Chain A
């Protein structure tokens, strides 16, 4: 990373503090049974991921295996439609089809350096599960992925991909049987197997240091954006960066290297499901209050009694009742503007991109695209949309929706 970029971030108020907090959010709210594991990570992660050894291996795999840098593609027809300059950051072209693999490559190298022989993960859309199963195959480590039963049904191709890759997929059968419940099961597994197992969390959620660690691994997205914009536009800073937020890892990666540049408008798009006030939604900042889930204090959809509300979104990857603590802080400070898109709006935006640019996006990413409709841009604004993943896994959902 160039020194200039590094300085702007480190001077910013938006990265994690020594205690593992982003403002009032974050921390490590974990039972004692997880303390030694999480503490081992906390003690070692920075030293490991900043070592030359690690960085060489990470960068080589990102280049030769993942296929980075991913293109920053000028979407001509879409730009004409919205009368502005739209670039797509093509994370959909990563090996395995989404940004998730940036993180799993980083964590698998880290797990090896910590001497772990088994890997567990949770997954919603199955992209993180596939990305984890993939790096486990790459490194020859055992892999178990927890996935909600509902998600296993709606993301069938990814379940089979994980199995082909040699992972065991274990259904989470409690609660809403989606991402939240898969995460509960993965945490229980880690409690039961503390010594030889590393838990590869798939987003910027969980106890400190996970949110910071995952954000760092994903920050390659915005690092490349800056260099690519410099080449294309002669300037590193766009006017807007737009990304969808489930837990928030692709958004964290897309925003990371712009956090200190206050003139860049950062826009996070949450899933409104059937409408923010429909009772079937996953728009956390609109509906949530401060609370603690999965090891961190963050914004959380919950009842008055502090019970977590089952979220809903057509998109499995956004179907989560919280957001990472970094995003909670970015929301509270106003550094990032949070908007939301409904199932219907996202599906339309997904088909629109397919028709205008010949790219079928993941339904998660389609939520980011749906924000274009809701915003006003000047004709010479540079707008970067993070296209976090491709739509192959979502064909069933597109077909069921049917309006194309």
Chain B
């Protein structure tokens, strides 16, 4: 059977037992390039069994419009779209994943990895999880090329995407039209693949997206989807897609995207566990708030998503209650009961958790913040604290300036012998042109010297001047020679730069120049 050829295990394993096999088979036949993946398009019977893929596609397009049965068509379409999108976006990191319609994730996965298609090992859960992320990224734009040539194909794909995209209103703006155009083309090709890849569960999860979605939106979805494609979310979405549900577009959207993603990954996950990680890596967002291995997630999702859209997902999930695949580069998020599990909300949840974690850190730093609850108040406290610290620095610097005349003499006494020794070494190290590196190395050595202990003690003990006092009592004569050397060094340094602070800054900058480590460090965005 054609379907077997294409869908492989997924197809058969699908609980829903997609009838559309015929359609998919036809489609598969038409598209030679499409690997036999499990493209469970789950297209309904209305899908004409056109041998020609294009015709099949058109039928796909039309069928959803003509009869929107449980939404299988839409699911399929959504899958296709997602796949296409994923292919397009392979590796593209779209801004907040939440904006990406889940569809794209679903879509991307299957499309992205044609090799995965062969996976049809259908566990859709597994595939959904692992495969999704990878395929998305894997799908390089190069894949598009073969498909791009078929304008009619693209049109159909676009239409498909429309179907799928229906549920995703927000996506349109993301990628822009030009990109969308490209995506649509790609997606069309991808969709074909996706259809084939369809992983059985994809077939089950009919893309909920309705056909009304404008193409652009679809495209943007793809972009977003691609991002998610790899994520397990996609897989979960694919599950949802099976649910078809009719439910809200949003829900469908998510389901579709997830379902698709799942479909793809399911098949591919088996094959390339590492790929998803690659895909994931490429996509920062992918860190899958989604989650836990696809299987786990699905399981978790299932109970929750009882809703219309969720139901489908659940069903898909249940079938796939498999052992979670080892997460690659995902940030695994365990969706709790009663929480939304779509990619958007998961990403948001991960983000919120990160933010709350940082806020807790800040709470420890800022004194007197324990009683304050609420982000606004906490932020107020933090702002006040930072301002007060800066004011303190200013005040102390004025105080030090006023005390300056005494500095000269006190510097000797201030520096404990050890510290002085350490500092004395510094100028010699600093002066060579290679000062940056030496200074840096010195700085690193500094931590191990007794100076560290001395300074640390003096600084750690709040207001404790014992160490310094002891140094004060030290006979300065011993330190004088060294201090002179140091003073000479500093004066020499002063001569070198007009600004008294320059050498400190230069050291820092020199380090950056002289040390590859610095330069290689990604400069934090200012």
Q: Do A and B bind each other?
A: no
